[in-house]
Structure formats: structure tokens, C-alpha cells
Amino acid sequence: MIIVKNTVKITKGEAHKLTDRFQQTGLIDSFPGFIDLDVLINRKEGDTDEVIISTRWETFEDFSRWLGSDEFRQKHKHGKKQPDFIQSSVITTYDVAVSRKSIVQKENVS
């Protein structure tokens, strides 16, 4: 299992402009090998905030296939002309060495 994070530097106070775009189901959600994603905000001191899109995949090959897919292209059509509030973007890939979850039984809320 791997985690790939896209760390995006955003103009202070404008993180919601990016995070809002992730509220709805997109094209990644049914892509083979995709497990889940979190969109995180780091409200930093200074004049930028950080939004981290953290995605979890079965294998690096699955992520690579998505990166080369029409599904990725369709959601990144902005190409080189990215939205004004995005200042920079850094991609980091991690192997998941250990993963643990709570063993407390959660109540079934249906």
C-alpha cells in the first residue's frame, strides 16, 4: 500500500477554494487500486496556507496508471495555467510501513 500526497501552497485564507472542489465524488473514486483520500488544511503562519491531498493506493502501479489516465487529465485540465490561488505544488510518495485502526467496536448507525 502507498500514500501519495500533493502538497499545495495557497494564498492565505483561500484554502476553501481548493477544498470545495473535492466535496463531490469525482473520477478517481472508481479507479482501480484507489483506496481513499483525505483533503487536509494546514493553516500556517505567514501569508500562505497549505492544502494536502492525501491519496491511498493498493500499489504504485495503480497510482501511475491513474496519473496517465483520461480520468486524471479531465480533472487537471487547467494544465500549466492552474488557478490563481495555487502558488506551488509538491508531490510526495510514501510506502505504508505500518497501518493500525481502532479495535473498539463502532455502533452501527444505519
Contacts to ligand HEM by CB under 6 A = 4, 6, 18, 21-22, 26-28, 37, 53, 55, 75-76, 82-83, 86, 89, 91
Beta carbons of 75 and 27 less than 8 angstroms apart: yes
> What phi and psi values does residue 56 have, to the nearest 5 degrees?
-115, 135
Which H helix or E strand runs over 76?
A: none
Using CB positions, name the residue nearest to ligand HEM. Answer: 26
Which residue reads 484554502 in cell numbers?
Answer: 15
Which helix (H) or strand (E) element contains residue 65? helix 60-67
Residue owning grid cell 485564507: 13
- Looking at the Cβ atoms of 42 and 82, the one nearer to ligand HEM is 82
Closest CB 97 distance from ligand HEM, rounded Å = 19
Closest CB to ligand HEM among 44 and 73?
Answer: 73
User: If you compute the radius of gyration of the chain from its CA atoms, what whole number of angstroms results?
Assistant: 16
Those residues with Cβ within 8 angstroms of residue 45's Cβ, 6 or more apart along the chain or in another chain? none
Minimum CB distance to ligand HEM smaller for 25 or for 108: 25
Distance in Å, CB of 105 to ligand HEM, minimum: 31
Closest to ligand HEM by CB, 28 or 41? 28
* Least gap, CB of 34 to ligand HEM (angstroms): 8
